[in-house]
């Protein structure tokens, strides 16, 4: 195949020997790397800047929140699935209007910037950063690469292959789901791809070799480079060179005498391939040369296809006939059992129960709906229990119909309480108890096998009176992924149960983790000791008087939850979200709230002895009358918090932010306030040390014990409000700073 001709003028040939008028001091490889870094920085900045502005607007905007843009939600979900990153906030959350605007910009602007740079690269061979650093991308003929070649070079060669290789290694090795390892692998693959530059004679990286491009110094003319790659070496064969003159005559042979050679100018170099042409494999030619073998093969193939079609058809027909026959038999059995139930007299209870259990063993899709409808109408208690057993034997497929019947019976109970006879109320209560028991037994039997099971708005509450007594007991079970949203679980026993587990990838901390949703559920007086509620959703959940001792609630969402009078002794709520939650009167002894968000929470009269609140957000929280003795509040945010009349004996408040907080009448004995910000703090009536009581036979009162005094050395009390003379004297004598102290005058 003839290769393209390369025409050169005499001026271009002369230009090769002329010195360049401008050269950059940096070598080409350094400028190439710098251009790549700037290109990536431009794209990253075009995404990070609007995203940061949107995040700031989300945190500080006072505008009415709006739902998150569906495009943003879908993008966030896709990224989380790809990187196996768990979503800490629901996709249906509300954000500020400006957040939607700037986050949409964070998606669109990088695409625009990348497209524009690819366009420049395809049309001119230079992106904006490449132009800044004097770098140019060309083809083997010195032309710009074009759009298709530019996209292939960047999307596939430079970024696609390295990132794909890194992702596959990360996803299917022990490195998953650590995103840090993924970033390290991606960087290594990018470096390896670019390192091909060192092992190529023409200094070409892998993406240049894939796209057929060369990177040159943009300050030089293309003709000034040794053009060995422009003639034929880059085409993969040895060409024949033919020189043509201006008059069209061939160039004179070297053997011709010099005086016989005419003076002519070379205008064209024609490159002709000398690679011999190979005959391609021709099926038709082979068939003509071997007619007998061809006919034999065709005959065998025809017979095999006919026989296979016949056998397959017969098998399909027979299987369909068998299926219809079995279905007909099952249908007859089902109809016969239904007929027996309708014709059996009420006194034949045992026979009726046997028919019900036979229906449960029948493999018919109509069995479960029929049994549920039968339960909604049954009046005999023993038959109700039999239907319950039959539904339990059907397993998880009975949960959805049972949930719907449970909700309907709950509505019936509410209606009958207002107007209904005692007999009807008892009958509905028995049916409701049957649904509760059936659901509880199925969940118990199939523990850990019910992810994404829907039990929202289901009534599983305790019943203590009458013949329909019921208590939900789901101790030591795996309940991860079950949706209990707005369910009634009062007085339920869920001791040591697990509400958080790995998803299909069997790894915790990834996107597909199974997390129970208990938002809005009623868990009053529930027993949750030792339960694992990590990452669980408990927004608006009623946990009044619930027992959560030693429960794991780290990273859980408890926004607006009611934990009044709850027991949370030694519970782990690190990094939990408890904004505007109510913990009035709760026992938080030795609980862990490090980095938790309790903004606006109500914690009046709580017992938080030796609890850990380091780096927690406690701004605008209310602690009136609480006992925080020995608690760790170092580096906590207590701005505008109300700590009036609280016991802060031995509390660690180092580096805490207490701006405009109220500490009226609080006891700060032995508290450590070093490094705390007390600007605008109200300390009216606060005590910094305990004074031992005066005995009746003691003439003089003993001075305050030094060990019980608050540590305030170096603390600035200049902007503290409502300090009396005694407090100022204590501050000055214990190393605190105040304008009235002698050393500060």
Structure confidence by residue, pLDDT tens digits, 254-271: 444 444 445 544 445 544
Which one is predicted more confidently, 294 or 266? 294
pLDDT over threshold 60, residue 243: no
Return d(Cα 319, Cα 325) in angstroms, integer.
Answer: 10
- Residue 661 in any domain: the answer is no
Instruction: Give which of 374, 388, 399, 483 is closest to 437, Cα–Cα.
Output: 388
Chain-centroid distance, C-alpha 654: 35
pLDDT over threshold 60, residue 710: yes
Helix (H, G, I), strand (E, B) or coil at 287: helix
Which one is predicted more confidently, 530 or 383? 530
- Residue 562 in any domain: the answer is no
Query: Euclidean distance between the first and final Cα of the chain, in Å?
Result: 98
Residue 691's pLDDT band (cuts 50, 70, 90): low
Q: What would the mean pLDDT of 633-646 be, rounded to a whole number?
A: 95
Number of Cβ within a 10 Å radius of residue 269: 15
pLDDT of residue 591: 96
Q: How many residues does the chain have?
A: 745
Q: What would the mean pLDDT of 701-723 be, rounded to a whole number?
A: 76
pLDDT of residue 59: 82
Return d(Cα 455, Cα 486) in angstroms, integer.
Answer: 9
| % of residues, the chain, pLDDT over 70 | 84
Residue 417's pLDDT band (cuts 50, 70, 90): confident
Q: What would the mean pLDDT of 280-309 be, rounded to a whole number?
A: 83
By the 8 A CB rule, do 186 and 161 touch? no
Last residue of a domain, one of 193, 219, 245: 219
pLDDT of residue 29: 86
Return d(Cα 360, Cα 366) in angstroms, integer.
Answer: 10
pLDDT of residue 247: 43
Number of Cβ within a 10 Å radius of residue 741: 17
Which residue(s) pair with 711 in the sheet? 672
**Total structural domains within the chain:** 2
Return d(Cα 737, Cα 128) in angstroms, integer.
Answer: 58
pLDDT of residue 337: 76
Chain-centroid distance, C-alpha 346: 57
Least confident of 80-94, 119-133, 237-251, 511-525: 237-251
Residue 695's pLDDT band (cuts 50, 70, 90): low
pLDDT over threshold 90, residue 391: yes
Residue 232's pLDDT band (cuts 50, 70, 90): very low
pLDDT over threshold 80, residue 408: yes
For residues 139, 145, 148, 153, the Cα torsion angle rounded to the nearest 10 degrees is 70
Chain-centroid distance, C-alpha 307: 55
Return d(Cα 627, Cα 587) in angstroms, integer.
Answer: 10
Residues contacting 137, CB < 8 A, separation 6+:
121, 125, 126, 130, 144, 145, 150, 153, 208, 213, 214, 215, 216
By the 8 A CB rule, do 170 and 189 touch? no
178 lies in the same domain as 243: no
pLDDT of residue 594: 96
pLDDT of residue 231: 42
Residue 668's pLDDT band (cuts 50, 70, 90): very high
By the 8 A CB rule, do 351 and 343 touch? no
59 lies in the same domain as 194: yes
The 3-state DSSP composition of the chain as helix, strand, coil percent (nearest 5) reads 40, 10, 45
pLDDT over threshold 60, residue 696: no
Classify each residue of 31-58 as buried b or exposed e, where b means 16 or more C-beta atoms within 10 Å of its C-beta.
Answer: bbebbbeebeebeeebbeebbebbbebb
Please count the helices (runs of H) and the strands (runs of E) in the chain. Answer: 18, 9
- Residue 256 in any domain: the answer is yes
- Residue 28 in any domain: the answer is yes
Q: Dihedrals φ, ψ of 358, to 5°?
A: -65, -35
pLDDT of residue 725: 87
111 lies in the same domain as 57: yes
For tokens 């993969």, the residue is 236
Residues contacting 307, CB < 8 A, separation 6+:
none
pLDDT of residue 583: 96
Residue 46's pLDDT band (cuts 50, 70, 90): very high
By the 8 A CB rule, do 489 and 455 touch? no
173 lies in the same domain as 204: yes
183 lies in the same domain as 260: no
pLDDT of residue 201: 79
Q: What would the mean pLDDT of 71-90 be, rounded to a whole number?
A: 84
Residue 742's pLDDT band (cuts 50, 70, 90): confident
Last residue of a domain, one of 157, 187, 219: 219
User: pLDDT (tens digit, 9 = 90+) per residue, 428-439?
Assistant: 999 999 999 999
Residue 3's pLDDT band (cuts 50, 70, 90): very low
Which residue(s) pair with 498 in the sheet? 478, 532
40 lies in the same domain as 179: yes
Q: What would the mean pLDDT of 559-575 be, rounded to a whole number?
A: 95
248 lies in the same domain as 183: no
Return d(Cα 270, Cα 4) in angstroms, integer.
Answer: 7
Q: What would the mean pLDDT of 321-334 be, rounded to a whole number?
A: 73
pLDDT of residue 281: 53
User: pLDDT (tens digit, 9 = 90+) per residue, 129-147?
Assistant: 999 998 999 998 889 999 9
pLDDT of residue 341: 74
By the 8 A CB rule, do 584 and 565 touch? yes
pLDDT of residue 393: 92
Least confident of 6-20, 129-143, 363-377: 6-20
| % of residues, the chain, pLDDT over 90 | 49
Q: What would the mean pLDDT of 401-411 be, rounded to a whole number?
A: 94
240 lies in the same domain as 213: no
Number of Cβ within a 10 Å radius of residue 444: 14
Q: What would the mean pLDDT of 358-379 be, rounded to a whole number?
A: 87
For residue 449, CA distances in Å to 47, 402, 534 come to 41, 18, 19
pLDDT over threshold 90, residue 558: yes
Least confident of 479-483, 504-508, 701-705, 713-717: 701-705
Q: Dihedrals φ, ψ of 135, to 5°?
A: -120, 140
pLDDT over threshold 50, residue 13: no
pLDDT of residue 577: 94
- Residue 554 in any domain: the answer is no
Q: What would the mean pLDDT of 633-645 be, rounded to a whole number?
A: 95
pLDDT of residue 284: 79
Instruction: Give which of 499, 517, 502 is closest to 84, Cα–Cα.
Output: 502
On the CB side of 225, CA atoms within 13 Å amount to 19
84 lies in the same domain as 209: yes
Domain of 165 in residue numbering reads as 21-219
Residue 573's pLDDT band (cuts 50, 70, 90): very high
- Residue 264 in any domain: the answer is yes
- In the predicted model, what is the mean pLDDT of the chain? 83
pLDDT of residue 630: 93
Return d(Cα 375, Cα 394) in angstroms, integer.
Answer: 15
Residues contacting 176, CB < 8 A, separation 6+:
84, 170, 505, 507
211 lies in the same domain as 252: no
pLDDT over threshold 70, residue 569: yes
119 lies in the same domain as 268: no
pLDDT over threshold 80, residue 706: no
- Residue 214 in any domain: the answer is yes
For tokens 């020189």, the residue is 243
Instruction: Give which of 528, 425, 43 is closest to 558, Cα–Cα.
Output: 528
Residues contacting 477, CB < 8 A, separation 6+:
443, 444, 447, 448, 497, 498
Least confident of 346-355, 419-428, 572-581: 346-355
Residue 290's pLDDT band (cuts 50, 70, 90): confident
Residue 358's pLDDT band (cuts 50, 70, 90): confident
By the 8 A CB rule, do 658 and 681 touch? yes
By the 8 A CB rule, do 621 and 601 touch? yes
Strands (E), 452-519: 500-501, 514-515
- Residue 196 in any domain: the answer is yes
Return d(Cα 233, Cα 305) in angstroms, integer.
Answer: 52
Instruction: Give which of 476, 485, 493 is closest to 452, Cα–Cα.
Output: 485
166 lies in the same domain as 255: no
Q: What would the mean pLDDT of 289-316 be, rounded to a whole number?
A: 88
Alpha-helical runs (H) found in 61-174: 70-83, 97-124, 128-132, 147-151, 161-171
Return d(Cα 77, Cα 295) in angstroms, integer.
Answer: 59
Instruction: Give which of 531, 453, 464, 510 is closest to 487, Cα–Cα.
Output: 453
pLDDT of residue 20: 39
Six-digit token string for 704:
């305050």
Residue 475's pLDDT band (cuts 50, 70, 90): very high
């Amino acid at each position: 195949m003839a290769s393209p001709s390369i025409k050169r003028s005499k001026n271009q040939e002369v230009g090769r020997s002329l010195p360049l008028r401008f050269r950059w001091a940096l070598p080409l490889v350094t400028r190439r790397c710098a251009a790549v870094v700037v290109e990536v920085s431009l794209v990253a900045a075009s995404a990070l800047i609007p995203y940061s502005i949107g995040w700031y607007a989300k945190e500080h905007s006072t505008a009415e929140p709006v739902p998150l843009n569906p495009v943003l939600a879908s993008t966030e979900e896709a990224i989380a699935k790809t990187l196996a990153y768990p979503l800490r906030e629901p996709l249906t959350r509300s954000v500020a209007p400006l957040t939607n605007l700037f986050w949409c910009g964070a998606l669109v602007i990088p695409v625009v910037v990348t497209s524009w740079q690819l366009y420049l690269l395809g049309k001119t061979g230079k992106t904006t950063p490449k132009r800044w650093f004097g770098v140019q991308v060309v083809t083997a003929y010195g032309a710009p690469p074009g759009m298709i070649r530019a996209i292939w070079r960047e999307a596939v060669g430079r970024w696609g292959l390295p990132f794909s290789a890194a992702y596959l290694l990360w996803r299917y090795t022990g490195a998953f789901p650590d995103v840090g390892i993924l970033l390290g692998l991606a960087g290594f693959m990018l470096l390896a791809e670019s390192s091909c530059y060192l092992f190529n004679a023409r200094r070409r990286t892998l993406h240049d070799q894939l796209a057929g491009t060369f990177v040159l110094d943009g300050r030089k003319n293309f003709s000034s480079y040794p053009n060995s790659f422009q003639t034929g070496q880059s085409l993969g064969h040895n060409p024949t060179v033919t020189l043509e003159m201006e008059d069209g005559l061939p160039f004179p042979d070297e053997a011709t005498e010099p005086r016989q050679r005419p003076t002519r100018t070379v205008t064209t170099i024609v490159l002709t391939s000398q690679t011999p042409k190979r005959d391609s494999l021709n099926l038709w030619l082979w068939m003509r040369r071997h007619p007998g073998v061809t006919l034999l093969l065709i005959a065998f193939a025809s017979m095999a296809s006919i026989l296979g079609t016949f056998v397959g058809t017969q098998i399909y027909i027979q299987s369909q006939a068998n299926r219809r026959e079995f279905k007909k038999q099952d249908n007859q059995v089902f109809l016969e059992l239904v007929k027996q139930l309708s014709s059996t007299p009420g006194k034949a209870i045992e026979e009726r129960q046997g028919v019900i259990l036979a229906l449960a063993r029948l493999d018919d899709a109509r069995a479960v709906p029929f049994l549920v409808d039968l339960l909604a109408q049954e009046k005999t208690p023993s038959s109700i229990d039999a239907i319950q057993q039959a539904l339990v034997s059907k397993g998880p497929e009975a949960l959805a119909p049972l949930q719907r019947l449970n909700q309907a019976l709950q509505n019936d109970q509410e209606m009958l309480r207002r107007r209904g006879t005692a007999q009807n109320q008892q009958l509905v209560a028995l049916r409701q108890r049957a649904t509760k028991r059936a659901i509880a037994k199925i969940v118990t039997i199939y523990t850990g096998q019910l992810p994404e099971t829907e039990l929202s708005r289901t009534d599983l509450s305790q019943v203590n009176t009458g013949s329909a007594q019921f208590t939900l007991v789901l101790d030591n079970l795996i309940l991860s992924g079950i949706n209990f949203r707005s369910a009634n679980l009062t007085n339920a026993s869920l001791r040591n149960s697990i509400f958080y587990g790995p998803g299909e990838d069997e790894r915790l901390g990834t996107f597909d983790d199974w997390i129970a949703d208990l938002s809005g559920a009623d868990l009053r007086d529930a027993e949750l000791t030792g339960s694992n509620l990590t990452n669980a959703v408990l927004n608006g959940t009623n946990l009044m008087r619930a027992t959560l001792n030693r429960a794991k609630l780290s990273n859980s969402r408890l926004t607006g939850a009611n934990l009044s009078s709850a027991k949370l002794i030694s519970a782990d709520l690190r990094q939990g979200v408890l904004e505007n939650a109510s913990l009035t009167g709760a026992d938080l002894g030795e609980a862990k709230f490090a980095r938790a968000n309790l903004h606006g929470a109500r914690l009046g009269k709580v017992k938080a002895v030796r609890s850990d609140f380091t780096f927690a957000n406690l701004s605008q929280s209310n602690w009136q009358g609480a006992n925080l003795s020995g608690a760790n509040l170092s580096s906590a945010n207590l701005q505008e918090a109300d700590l009036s009349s609280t016991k802060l004996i031995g509390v660690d408040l180092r580096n805490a932010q207490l701006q405009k907080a109220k500490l009226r009448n609080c006891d700060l004995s032995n508290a450590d306030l070093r490094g705390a910000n007390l600007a605008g703090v109200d300390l009216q009536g606060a005590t910094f040390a305990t004074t031992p009581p005066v005995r009746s036979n003691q003439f003089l009162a003993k001075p305050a014990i030094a060990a019980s005094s608050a540590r305030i050395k170096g603390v600035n009390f200049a902007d503290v409000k409502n300090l009396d003379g005694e407090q100022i004297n204590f501050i000055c004598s214990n190393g605190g700073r105040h304008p009235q102290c002698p050393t500060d005058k």
